[in-house]
Amino acid sequence: MTPALPRRAFLAGAVAIGVGTGFEVLSVTPAHAAPGTPEIFDCTAWNARPPTSAVSLAGNNPNKILVHHTDFPNTPDATQADSFAIAKEIQDLHIDHNGWIDSGQHFTISRSGVIMEGRHRSLERLKAGSNMVVGAHCPGQNSSAIGIENNGTYMTEAPPAVLYGALTGMCAYICWQYGLSASEIYGHRDFLSTTDCPGDVLYGMLPQLRLDVAAEVDPGGRVWPSLGQGTDGENVRALQYLLTQTGRSLGVDGDFGPATASAVEDFQKAAGLTVDGVAGATTWELLVPPRRNGSSGAAVTAAQRLLNLHGSSLTADGVFGSLTASAVKAFQTAGGLPADGVVASNTWSRLLATP
């Protein structure tokens, strides 16, 4: 039986930490170079209708992920066919009722953990790790946020564990492909005050989701510096660059003063962490984004400066080119890490260790 139109159809658009002397250890699973690639069924697999007109590309990479719930009944979605039917129902609603050209969201996850492409070409761009399809899942965010619909209603109950696991893996893959920090995972309601999406319970799970995604992106036993007011040096400078990368206005001078503490507190609040103004393990885990050849910005500058502390002689220009990639691989080889040339969590952690 087809459920009633959901409210959203009408819208436009176990971590263990130990504290050492000045450092915190985050223990998760053994290290590897990158998260696994989840199985994602494309639009052809679930027999999607063609878009009513060509989808548009934003001309940029996404800067965040928005988590949604469908507001549909909490059905089992027990078979693959059941999952595909959900994707089709959403597309029909979005085209026939909302008047959109295609499904509004980029990806859909069923209650049995089946991941499906929503809007056409979303999977193509994700696999390429460049550019994104313009969606229709949240006003003001459709050209900058990847939207993930999670089937069900999560106002008073949690999503099934298999859905949560699929969501974690999908977010990790998106973060890896597009170089996003796990801190850039939000709920729909964060950007649209008139919706309760993704439901009170799922929304309350987002801080843990960010930590789980961070661990999935580059798991390993990591040691992070614990920085607070009164500390200084290159690690503080790296922290300031990384906070700047998140869009916070902050001077980069290597001194941890009140302005840096305020920026850390603002970041912690946004990420759902304990707000204490101290950059410890959980803060670092959500702050460091994967950076690779072709990346640019303040986070790259931070990595280049840290590499120079460890013996490189790079120009800290914020442009991740072949020389930076070679320096990263040399550093990783010397430290016994997979020499993939990507500055992800394990490499960030080693770079922040005192040379």
Average pLDDT, the chain: 91
pLDDT tens per residue across span 229-243: 999 999 999 999 999
pLDDT tens per residue across span 255-310: 999 999 999 999 999 999 999 999 999 999 999 999 999 999 999 999 999 999 99
Which of 115, 52, 129, 105 lies closest to 84 in space, CA to CA? 115
Angle between helices 258-271 and 234-245 (to 10 degrees): 50
* Spatial separation of the C-alpha atoms in residues 68 and 188, rounded to whole Å: 6
**DSSP state at residue 16:** E
Pairing between β-strand 40-41 and β-strand 115-117 as defined by DSSP bridges: parallel
Task: Give me the pLDDT at residue 26, please.
Answer: 52
Task: Give me the pLDDT at residue 219, please.
Answer: 80
Cis, peptide link before residue 198, omega less than 30° from 0:
yes
DSSP 239-267: HHHHHHHTT-----SSB--HHHHHHHHHH
Pairing between β-strand 23-27 and β-strand 107-109 as defined by DSSP bridges: unpaired
Which residue do the tokens 């929304």 mark? 203
Q: Is 14 a residue whose pLDDT tops 90?
A: no
Least confident of 16-20, 80-84, 164-168: 16-20
Q: Delineate the domains of the chain, giving CATH numbers in brackets.
A: 7-217 (3.40.80.10), 227-352 (1.10.101.10)
Average pLDDT value for residue range 205-212 = 96
Task: Give me the pLDDT at residue 309, please.
Answer: 96
**Contact criterion met (CB below 8 Å) for 219 and 226:** no
Task: Give me the pLDDT at residue 10, please.
Answer: 30
Task: Give me the pLDDT at residue 34, please.
Answer: 65
